[in-house]
Structure 1
Amino acid sequence: MATDDAQPRVEPLPVEQWAPEVRAVWTADSLKSKEDELPAHLAHMPDTLNLTRILAHHPELAVALYPLSTLVNAGLLSPRDRELVTLRAALRSRSGYLWSHHYETAQAVGVTEAEVLRTAEDPSAVIWSPHEAALISSVDEVCDTSVIGAATWKQLRRTYDDAQVLQLLALIGTYRFLATVLNTAGAALDEWRPERPLPTVNVAGQRSTTR
């Protein structure tokens, strides 16, 4: 959920005002030059993100985030698993910015639009594979208690090894952090990305979450 302020609390910094080390990493052109090491949704953005324009106010943080973002968006988890987790994290964090971006990104890796919308539902009440239901439940449990519960853990370990579970936790934590930055800064969605309304979230054993 964004702030109630009429204007952004932290204005996106124009690229020409960025520190050289940030420009070398985070402009759209610099990301395109690294497409061999990045997932497509990072390497092929048409313009520089408002998220990184905000982070550019803190050059050390912006630069440090690059390897973490690269790690959690590639590697040990399948693109489908990664996007289901990211969508649920965006919803639980009430980040319209992340939801709108990953609404498109998820479909680019094979998640159907119906499945994207289904990530807002109670995972025990809709048709997911047991593994995918556990992925979505893991986001809820981390958001609610900062720990994955025993039943969800048992199901995850049928598929994931130690390294994959750690990457899952890093993925959830990274997107929770980004959502907090975006929501608190009052970041506007990038003009080139269609806005997708945040649906109501249904969580097992809880009332629907709308904010």
Structure 2
Amino acid sequence: MPNIPYRDELDTEAEALAERIRARRGGVLLNLDRMLLHHPYLTAGWTELFLRIRAGQHISDRHRELGILAVGSLTGARYELHHHKAPFLAGGGTEEQYAAVVDSVPAAIANADLFDAAERAILTLALESTRDVALSPETVGAVRSHFPEPAQFLELLMSIASYNFAARILVGLGIEIEAETP
């Protein structure tokens, strides 16, 4: 059950933003949107940030989504896991990889049969960033060996950090997966 109600009645400011969100989402608002629309000013900034993160320019969708899934698993953000499965699979990830990350990020990091070195570096980056905030020199070195351009490293780290932010909102507000909403 959510910690505050989903917003369905929208004033003029919220409705204008909701229309832009609906246009991007094929005519629907997700529960996340319905919750965020309690504060249209902040939601406008949130929407812009996540549009830019998801558009990416320097890393693949598969790599970005792998980091996002790791964050969802580590933080218990089921909503994040649910909504990022399809983009991960569409980007070239596998059902087996998805299941392994959801089950245990540390075990996934150790699984060289299922994840290549670049993927394991991303998972380690997500683990350290989520749990410890600080990154070890070994992790930075491993990530940089596969993503040598500064923009690549920054995009990976910003994706992971942004979805840690999202996870804290999703879990903190108790946002439900749409199929589970009464």
TM-score normalised by length of structure 1:
0.75
- The equivalent position to 1:65 in structure 2, one of 27, 46, 58, is 46
User: Following superposition, which runs of at least 4 residues in structure 1 exceed 4 angstroms of deviation?
Assistant: 15-18
CA contact (8 A) 1:134 1:155 kept: yes
Q: How far is 1:191 from its partner?
A: 2.2
Letter in 1 for 2:123: I
Letter in 2 for 1:22: L
**1:157 counterpart SS class:** helix
State the distance in 1 between where 2:71 and 2:118 align: 17
CA contact (8 A) 2:62 2:89 kept: no
**Match of 1:98?**
80
Coordinate RMSD, CA, aligned: 2.0
**Match of 1:180?**
168
State the distance in 2 between where 1:15 and 1:65 align: 20
**Match of 2:138?**
151
TM-score normalised by length of structure 2:
0.86
Specify whether residues 77 and 57 from structure 1 end up closer, same or farther in structure 2 by C-alpha distance, changes over 3 A only.
same
**2:7 counterpart SS class:** coil
1:164 corresponds to 2:152: yes
Q: Percent identity?
A: 25
Specify whether residues 11 and 180 from structure 1 end up closer, same or farther in structure 2 by C-alpha distance, changes over 3 A only.
same
**Match of 2:127?**
140
Please give the residue correspondences for 1:1-211 in structure 2 after superposition, counting only pairs within 5 Å: 7-14=1-8, 16-17=10-11, 19-27=14-22, 30-31=23-24, 43-44=25-26, 47-74=28-55, 75-119=57-101, 120-121=104-105, 122-127=107-112, 128-160=115-147, 161-191=149-179
Gaps of 5+ in 1: 1-6, 32-42, 194-211
State the distance in 1 between where 2:173 and 2:131 align: 23
State the distance in 1 between where 2:44 and 2:81 align: 24
Note the alpha carbon deviations across 1:18-49, whole angstroms, 9 max, x for none.
6144224322xx21xxxxxxxxxxx55x7311
Specify whether residues 192 and 47 from structure 1 end up closer, same or farther in structure 2 by C-alpha distance, changes over 3 A only.
farther
CA contact (8 A) 1:25 1:66 kept: no
Using the TM superposition, name which of 46-55 and 132-141 deviates more.
46-55
Gaps of 5+ in 2: none
Letter in 2 for 1:48: L
Larger helix proportion of the pair: 2
